[in-house]
Amino acid sequence: MAEKTLDTLFHDTLRDIYYAERKILTALPKMARGAQDPKLKEAFQMHRDQTEGHVERLQRVFEIIGKTPRGKTCPAIDGIIEEGAEILEEYKGMPALDAGLLAAAQAVEHYEITRYGTLRTWAKQMGLPEAYDLLSQTLEEESQTDEQLTQLAQTAVNAAAEAA
């Protein structure tokens, strides 16, 4: 059995988040279509565009480490996305739908934030400054998206669900 090193772990985790980002690209349009609040729809659409950039940056990180961009099935993101799909189906047309969709989106963001934070730290440890910068840029965008979703939840979506 080949020795498992930090390089191996970095590559495996990179494959994990690459898979996740590509799955998120397919889930966000469904969430946008299902959302009732116009600002939430817009947030999902904007994040989809941003996610395309995340995939491109990940492809560049794969190039930096001399590997082919290829995903590795990520049961965690599959489960989070499935929960979002269940909310979309079970709460369709209900006042709490947007609050549920927003919560599901934040679960995705938190998963991404942990992955990008870890990968960025490892890139620095491994002496990969360009990968570090690319991963830092995505981490910042994911953190900003999470903050925007929090603001939307606190200022509109949760109150609308409660008022109904």
| pLDDT value of position 25 | 96
Residues 106-144 have pLDDT tens digits of: 999 999 999 999 999 999 999 999 999 999 999 999 999
Whether the model pTM is above 0.85 = yes
| pLDDT value of position 160 | 87
| pLDDT value of position 76 | 95
CA 16, CA 76: separation in Å to the nearest integer? 10
In this predicted model, which residue has the larger pLDDT, 2 or 100? 100
How confident is the model over 40-48, as a mean pLDDT?
95
Architecture of the domain spanning 6-163? Up-down Bundle (1.20)
Residues 15-30 have pLDDT tens digits of: 999 999 999 999 999 9
